[in-house]
């Protein structure tokens, strides 16, 4: 057996010591790793959002239309002070007449965009005067004295539409009067009912015009629309320093339809360009109320908002540190490594995690990466982080690749921050601002259906998460 030379043994022993020494740096000898301090890049503006098309279900009471109809058609309508010449012949001879009519209560039926007004119990009396051969007048009456008043039915149909000036418009027509009883003059035999119905029918168009005129005078659609339009242009504060501006641009109204027995309903589509700003309340130039476009509104698309949500570094560190503090990493060879601290901050376009360790490796290690948001759990994840180049260079001299991988596996990949509470808070704030009384008796009601991340960017204050918020919106006019 050949005896090895002392030099060979020395080389082998030295190699073993060298390998073991590289595997674990002595505690108390901190690693000198440069701290990343690249200037932060400004985050881009919130994600570009396609224009929102919000279909507002507008409901309004029929009360003021019904009041206008009844006010335009007086309860009592009479002409008994003097005789009126008949426009037709009665039994082949000219005649004169006078009458008294009272309409009774009205009944309203809403079908589609038509308001049908019925006066089912109109009572009337009439007297006619004809000249006899001797020149003396002969008078016959129907409904006077001991005679019971005669009955007829009147029916009016009002077509309901919008105008470009945001007013409710009616086009009213009367059907021919429907006689319920004969009206034979006593002691005359002639039945004046058909003549009375024809004469009354000629006098109904002015009543129809009066109904339309009164509806137009009482309709406050334009005034209310202007108030709503102005309120929608006023930015609302989602939270301190975060403002939401709806920025409406145009409106399109659909047909008017019945919603129950006493409510009108229509769909008004508003085009929004919503904007979220940070800082002081924005000052926006007001946009005047545009003409109301008429036609079928677009399909319901809800609203879409681009909103930046800030998660401060203080909050990140408060949530991350407990998950890694005290974590112990046991390498295959050498002393264990213990995590004693973690701080995150932004550098350039990345997030830096400064991890303080003691034991087999002693110092501050720097990991860099871009966190992601889990789509289902809405948790902030740090799976793609790796050591900075400077940290890798120093670790390559102080430890081996196995130690390098062991540290990476233990520090951040399993660390997440659950942001569901932040998203829920943002959702609630948006819904509270969307659900409010815009003007008296006019309520806006909104609901958020989805929050989706479009990007995560480090800023001086923290991580800025750009979100797209989708939802639905409804407007209700109580009266």
pLDDT band at 218 (very low <50, low <70, confident <90, very high): low
What phi-psi label fits residue 378: left (phi over 0), alpha (psi between -120 and 50 degrees) or beta?
left
Rounded mean pLDDT of 418-434? Answer: 87
Whether the predicted pLDDT of 51 surpasses 70: no
Give the pLDDT score at 62. Answer: 73
pLDDT (0 to 100) of residue 21: 38
pLDDT, mean of residues 263-269: 78
Interatomic CA distance for residues 446 and 433, integer angstroms: 8
Model confidence at 346, in pLDDT bands (50, 70, 90)? very high
Could you tell me the end-to-end alpha-carbon distance of the chain, in angstroms, rounded to an integer? 112
- pLDDT at 302 exceeding the cut of 80: no
Mean pLDDT of 269-289: 82
Mean pLDDT of 399-424: 80
Are 419 and 380 in contact by the 8 Å Cβ rule? The answer is yes
pLDDT of res. 220: 59
Residue 325, pLDDT above cutoff 50: yes
Query: What pLDDT sits at residue 365?
Result: 92
Q: What is the mean pLDDT of residues 258-279?
A: 76
Weakest-pLDDT range from 59-63, 233-237, 366-370: 59-63
Residue 250 pLDDT level (bands cut at 50, 70, 90): confident
Q: Which 3 state secondary structure label does DSSP give 191?
A: strand
- Summarize pLDDT for 130-152 with one digit per residue, the tens: 887 777 888 889 998 888 899 99
Of the candidates 246, 245, 306, 278, the one whose C-alpha atom is nearest the C-alpha of residue 468 is 306
- Predicted confidence band of residue 478 (pLDDT cuts 50, 70, 90): low
What was the pLDDT predicted at 59? 67
Percent of the chain with pLDDT over 90: 14
Q: What is the mean pLDDT of the chain?
A: 80
DSSP symbols for 398-467? HS-HHHHHHHHHHHSTT-EEE-HHHHHHHHHHHHHHHSEEEETTEEEEEEEEEEEEEEEEE-SSEEEEEE
What is the pLDDT at residue 297?
60
Determine contact, residues 459/466, Cβ cutoff 8 Å: no
Q: Which residue has the tokens 């508003």?
A: 270
Report which of residues 368 and 443 the model is more confident about.
Answer: 368
Q: Is 27 a residue whose pLDDT tops 70?
A: no
């Amino acid at each position: 057996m050949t005896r090895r030379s002392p030099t060979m043994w020395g080389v082998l022993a030295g190699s073993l010591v060298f390998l073991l020494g590289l595997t674990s740096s002595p505690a108390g000898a901190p690693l000198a790793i440069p701290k990343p301090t690249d200037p932060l890049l400004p985050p881009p503006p919130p994600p570009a959002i396609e224009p929102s098309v919000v279909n507002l279900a507008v409901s309004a009471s029929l009360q003021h239309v019904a009041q206008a109809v009844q006010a335009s058609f007086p309860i009592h309508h009479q002409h008994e002070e003097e005789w009126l010449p008949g426009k037709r012949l009665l039994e082949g001879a000219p005649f004169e007449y006078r009458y008294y009519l009272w309409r009774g209560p009205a009944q309203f039926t809403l079908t589609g965009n038509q308001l049908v007004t019925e006066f089912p119990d109109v009572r009337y009396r009439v007297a006619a005067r004809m000249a006899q051969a001797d020149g003396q007048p002969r008078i016959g009456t129907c409904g006077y004295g001991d005679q019971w008043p005669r009955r007829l039915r009147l029916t009016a149909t009002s077509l309901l539409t919008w105008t470009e000036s945001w007013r409710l418009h009616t086009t009213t027509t009367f059907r021919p009067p429907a006689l319920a009883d004969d009206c034979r003059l006593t002691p005359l035999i002639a039945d004046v009912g058909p003549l009375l119905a024809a004469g009354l029918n000629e006098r109904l168009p002015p009543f129809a015009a009066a109904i339309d005129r009164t509806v137009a005078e009482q309709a406050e659609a334009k005034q209310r629309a202007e108030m709503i339009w102005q309120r929608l242009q006023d930015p609302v504060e989602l939270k301190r320093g975060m403002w939401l501006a709806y920025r409406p641009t145009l409106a399109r109204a659909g047909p008017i339809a019945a919603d129950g027995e006493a409510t009108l309903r229509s769909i008004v589509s508003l085009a929004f360009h919503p904007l979220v700003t940070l800082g002081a309340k924005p000052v926006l130039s007001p946009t005047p109320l545009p003409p109301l476009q008429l036609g079928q509104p677009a399909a319901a698309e809800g609203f879409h908002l681009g909103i930046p949500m800030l998660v401060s570094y203080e909050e990140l560190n408060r949530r991350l540190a407990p998950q890694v503090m005290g974590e112990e990493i046991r390498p295959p060879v050498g002393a264990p490594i213990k995590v004693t601290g973690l701080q995150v901050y932004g550098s350039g376009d990345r997030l830096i995690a400064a991890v303080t360790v003691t034991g087999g490796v002693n110092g501050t290690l720097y990991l860099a990466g871009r966190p992601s948001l889990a789509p289902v759990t809405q948790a902030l994840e740090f799976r793609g982080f790796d050591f900075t180049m400077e940290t890798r260079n120093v670790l390559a001299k102080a430890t081996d690749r196995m130690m390098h991988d062991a540290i990476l596996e233990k520090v951040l990949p399993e660390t997440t921050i659950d942001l569901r509470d932040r998203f829920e808070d943002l959702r609630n704030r948006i819904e509270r601002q969307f659900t409010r009384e815009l003007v008296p008796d006019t309520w806006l009601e909104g609901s958020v259906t989805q929050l989706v991340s479009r990007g995560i960017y480090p800023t001086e204050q923290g991580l800025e998460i750009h979100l797209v918020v989708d939802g639905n919106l409804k407007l209700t006019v109580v009266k």
